[in-house]
Homo-oligomer: A and B are copies of this chain.
Amino acid sequence: MKITIQREILVRSVQEVIKAISFKTTIPILTGIKFHVTEQGLTLTGSDADISIESFVPKEADGDENIMIEQTGSCVFQARYFYEIVKKLPDTQVQITISKQQNATIQSGKTEFNLKIWDAEEYPRLPEINESCSFYLSVELLKNIIRQTVYAVSTSENRPILTGVNWIFDKETLVCVGTNSHRLAQKIVLQSDPNIQIEVNPFNIVIPGKSLNELNKLLDGENEQVKVVITPQQILFQLKNLLFFSRLLEGNYPDTKKLIPKEMKTKLIVDVKAFHRAIDRASLLSKDEKSNIVKLEVNDSCTIFISSNAPEIGKVEEELSSEHFEGEELKISFSAKYMMDALKVMDDEKVEISFTGAMRPFLIKNISNDEILELVLPVRTY
């Protein structure tokens, strides 16, 4: 292997694949980045066994030469050092040469690094993907799905299945759900939505939340569409010159439809920003506690009272107007964090909050559509 590559292009590809690498892994070679040079170009791979990212640098793009390939070949560099080194090399060009067994030379300007490498044969193979089930999403829609569901997943490994987001396709809608059993976020995409092109058999999969968060960081303006390929154990997101593989979670995801209340006793419409700021202030006194609980009280005068009490510090009372109120008077307590997380991902300026009683989960949704539905379980405080 002997190539000369534009430093900036190399840095960008390394930045992409390094997102998959965990330096806490027990498999040493997975702390490395695999280089594979063919006549067509350079493929970089990073992986932590759950997530794998493959970035391809074509020999030429738009008539410009990205890489001069003198000799094809493969090797694995220690990712941590390699990334720091290429970022700081002095010249715009970098020459990489496998000089002898287990050694590569990186040369740029008057700087020469001589690095230990691993044999590429020892690097785990990426899963083989059978393309029988694939569809297309716009990057914008995919980013929204991730942002509006993944925040609600569990961060505890007590019930591993709840650390993932459930995607269910039933031929008419794609329903995406995240829940930690105390709150739930659901995003519905209709098959008729111009941002999705989906013509496949029904599926029901659970994608790790961590994978979706990492994928989100790679979704930028350069790509407009993402191809999604689903296999029994893996999901593949395919971007321009970039492949993102994630394992799927095994097990049965709870049936969340039953959790969503049908009837409602109290309905409020509030301004998202004003309501978020009021909850935020009311939660200031309880920020040290794991469960930062605020109380909400509403009566038929359309005034909402939000309050919180921390015996050692003091208490706070907020008053704000509801845009609309119908149904019964209500006193309810809930986690300020859960409420603020839910408000943050709403698209509309105003949202509708529907309650069915002080001890029943309540619903938050946009007033203009039913695409997003969020559910928070209240807390018993008296």
Contacts and interface: CB of A to CB of B under 8 A. Distances in A.
A319 B313 CA distance: 62
Interface stretch (A60-68, A208-216, A253-261, A278-286): A278-286
A308 to B, nearest CB: 10
A318 B113 CA distance: 9
Contacts of A112: 316-318
A110 B103 CA distance: 69
A88 B313 contact: no
A105 to B, nearest CB: 9
A115 B85 contact: no
B78 A313 contact: yes
A interface, size bucket: 20 to 34
Contacts of A265: none
A112 B278 CA distance: 11
B316 A116 contact: no
B284 A116 contact: no
A89 B281 contact: yes
A220 to B, nearest CB: 28
Given A313-B78, A316-B111, A85 B116 contact: no
Contacts of A316: 111-114
Contacts of A113: 285, 314-316
A16 to B, nearest CB: 21
Given A81-B285, A85-B281, A89-B281, 9 more contacts: A88-B277, A88-B280, A110-B318, A111-B278, A111-B316, A111-B317, A112-B318, A115-B314, A116-B313
Interface of A: 78, 81, 84-85, 88-90, 103, 110-116, 277-278, 280-281, 284-285, 287, 312-320
